[in-house]
Amino acid sequence: MTGERQVVAVDVGGTGIKAALLDREAAVRHREWRATGREHGPGAVVATVVGVVTDLLRQAERQGVGVDAVGVAVPGIVDETTGTGVHSATIGWRDVPFRDLLAERTGLPVVVTHDVRAGGVAEARLGAGRGEERFLFVPIGTGIAAAVMTGGRAEPGAHHRAGEIGHLVVRPGGEPCVCGARGCAETYASAAAVARRYTAATGRPAPAPEVARLAAEGDRAARAVWDEAVDALADALLTAALVLDPPLVVLGGGLAESGDLLLTPLAAALAGRTRIQVAPRLAPAALGDRAGCLGAGLRALDATAGRAAPAGRPAP
C-alpha cells in the first residue's frame, strides 16, 4: 500500500453509470463508465451498481491505495438518512436499501444521495457556485429538478422532495406529465421535451441543442418549440424565485449545452416578467456531466473526515 487514501464515487443515470476513485483533494484518480441497462429491469441496475463499486475497489487495490468510503448518487426520491432509493420513475426501482447493500458488500461507510443534490454540492465546491452562499443548481435533461444550495450543502426537504421544480404547473390543463399532472414545466422545457416536441412538429428527430441552433437559424418549428421551452422554464424559475429568492441559478444538463442560445432569452424573459421577485443571475454549470459523480465523492469524503471535504481545485 502507498499510504494514499481514496473514496469510491458513483453517479447512476438513466443511460449510464459514471464512477471514479477520488483522492483526498477530490481529484479523479481513475474513471469508469457502464451502461445503466434499465431495459433489463431495476434489479439488474442495482446489481450493476454493486458490481461497479466492487470493480473500483479492486482497481484501488491494484493501485496499492486504501479506500475509506463509498458515495453513490441515484435519481428519483432518495432518503439520505437511511440511504434508500425510495422510488425512481426513470429506472423503476422502489425502496432499494443501497447503503445497507453496499456496506454489507464492502465493509465501508456508504453515503447515498440524490443525483441533483450531488451535482449541486460539486458545483458549490468546485464549479460555478464556488464562493456563493446560496444558489439553485438546475440541471435540465430528461427532466428538470433543482438542488437548493446553502453553504455548500443541499437541502433535501422534510420528505426528500425539495427542488422538484420540474413539476411546477406552468401551463394549467396542458400536456400530461409522468407525475400525473398536466402542464408541468418539464413537459415543455426539459431537453427531452424539446426534442420530443420538435420531432412531433416536423417528423425530424433532433436533440435539444440542435433545436436551439435551428431556432437561431430561423427554422419556424424549432423557434416555436424553443420559445415555448424558454417561456415555461422562465415561469418555473420565477415561481422558485418567489419562494426561495436565490441570487444565482446555475444551469446544467443537456439544455444548458445550448449556451447563450438559452441564457440570453431566458435572462430576458426573467427580467420582463418579474413583479415582486428579483430575477436571479444565471450562470452555466462548470462541471458538465461530471458533477453528480464528483458530488457523490465529496459526500463520501465528508462522511470519512467527519467535516466538510476539502474545497478542492476550481474546475478548469
pLDDT band at 306 (very low <50, low <70, confident <90, very high): low
Does residue 254 lie within any of the structural domains? yes
Same domain, 219 and 231: yes
Long-range CB pairs of 94-100, under 8 A, 24+ apart, other chains included: 94/42, 96/42, 96/46, 98/46, 98/49, 98/72, 98/74
- Which residues is 76 bridged to in the sheet? none
pLDDT in tens, 147-178: 999 999 999 888 888 899 999 999 999 999 98
Cell digits of residue 118 = 450531488
Q: What is the dihedral of CA 97, 100, 106, 108, to 10 degrees?
A: 120
Note the pLDDT of residue 245: 94
Residue 311 lies in a domain: no
Whether the per-residue pLDDT at 53 is higher than 50: the answer is yes
Pairing status of strand 153-154 against strand 147-150: antiparallel
Domain match, 278 and 185 both: yes
Range of the domain at 155: 130-285
User: Does residue 314 surpass a pLDDT of 80?
Assistant: no
Same domain as 136, residue 110: no
- 98-106 and 42-63 helices, crossing angle to 10°: 40
**Residue 311: what pLDDT?**
53
pLDDT band at residue 96 using 50, 70 and 90 as cut-offs: very high
Count of the separate structural domains present in the chain: 2
CATH of residue 33: 3.30.420.40
User: Where does residue 8 rank: exposed (0-12), middle (13-18), buried (19+ CB within 10 A)?
Assistant: buried
Q: What is the identity of the amino acid at 32? A: E
Provide the pLDDT confidence category of residue 315 given band limits of 50, 70 and 90.
very low
* 113 and 11 in a common domain: yes
Q: Which amino acid is at 223?
A: R
Dihedrals φ, ψ of 249, to 5°?
A: -120, 120
31 domain-assigned: yes
Q: What is the pLDDT of residues 179-236, one digit of tens each?
A: 899 999 999 999 999 999 999 999 999 999 999 999 999 999 999 999 999 999 999 9
- Residue of 194 and 288 predicted with greater confidence: 194
Please give the pLDDT value at position 2.
Answer: 64
Q: Please list, in sequence order, all residues whose beta carbon lies within 8 angstroms of the beta carbon of residue 228, skipping any fewer than 6 positions away.
A: 188, 197
Predicted model pTM: 0.89
pLDDT given at position 261: 95
Q: Are residues 105 and 134 in the same domain?
A: no
> What is the C-alpha separation between 209 and 194, in angstroms, rounded?
9
Place of cell 462541471: 287
CA-angle at 174, arms to 169 and 177, nearest 5°: 65
Mean of the pLDDT values across residues 257-268? 95
Q: Give residue-wise pLDDT tens across range 223-242.
A: 999 999 999 999 999 999 99
167 and 300 in a single domain? The answer is: no
Give the mean model confidence (pLDDT) for residues 17-37. 94
Task: Kindly tell me the sign of the dihedral angle through the C-alpha atoms of 212, 236, 296, 103.
Answer: negative
- Would residue 315 count as lying in a domain? no
Question: Quick one: 81 and 225 in the same domain?
Answer: no
Residues 112 and 142 in one domain: no
- 313 falls within a domain: no
Give the pLDDT confidence score for residue 160 in this predicted structure: 83
273 and 136 in one domain?
yes
| 242 and 262 assigned to the same domain | yes
Model confidence band, residue 13 (pLDDT cutoffs 50, 70, 90): confident
Query: How distant is the alpha carbon of residue 203 from its chain centre?
Result: 30
Is the pLDDT confidence value at 87 over 70? yes
Residue 275, pLDDT score: 86
136 and 90 both lie in a single domain: no
Q: Is residue 124 part of a domain?
A: no
Answer yes or no: is 223 within a domain: yes
Q: What percent of the chain clears pLDDT 70, i.e. is strictly above it?
A: 96
Report the C-alpha dihedral over residues 217, 219, 225, 230, rounded to 10 degrees. 20
Query: Cβ-count burial of 217 within 10 angstroms (0-12 exposed, 13-18 middle, 19+ buried)?
Result: exposed
Q: Is residue 258 part of a domain?
A: yes
The Cα angle at residue 161 between residues 276 and 228, in degrees rounded to 5: 55
- Considering the domain architecture, whether residues 95 and 192 belong to the same structural domain is answered as no
